[in-house]
Amino acid sequence: MEYIAFINKENNMYVAVVPDLNFTSSYGATFHEAVHNIVEASELYCEDLKTLPKPSSLEELMQKKDELDLEKDAIPQLINVKVEKLKRINVMMRSDIIEVLPERLVEFNGNRSAYFQHLAIKDLQNHNIAV
């Protein structure tokens, strides 16, 4: 999931905050280090959540910048937070499909779940549904 972090320089450190993730924050000696650290902090924050918050657009966040009490010189930075909440489900499928499926599973290391997840994400994206 992609969120927007705001990064600004305070003294000799870069401070990063993600408003959509309950203002999760981190810092680093360089901009690059701050980005790396805020991604890690955001992933740790999201691990305990049952569902991930819907990301705000940059426009939405900028409209609320004063309300969010963000630093005026803060630079928005898109970050990719990789936290997967997995749920086990049962799926019924025709046996002839199951028999030929291994041919397509090679690129997914034989993992049927990864294959079906890939197809579902592709279909959702084709229908402009964000996941």
- Note the pLDDT of residue 28: 95
The answer to whether domain 2-80 has CATH 3.30.160.250 is yes
Most confident of 4-8, 67-71, 82-86, 98-102: 4-8
pTM of full prediction above 0.75: no
Average pLDDT over residues 57-64: 93
Q: How many whole angstroms separate alpha carbon 129 and alpha carbon 123?
A: 9
Per-residue confidence at 7, pLDDT binned at 50, 70, 90?
very high
Q: How many whole angstroms separate alpha carbon 97 and alpha carbon 116?
A: 13
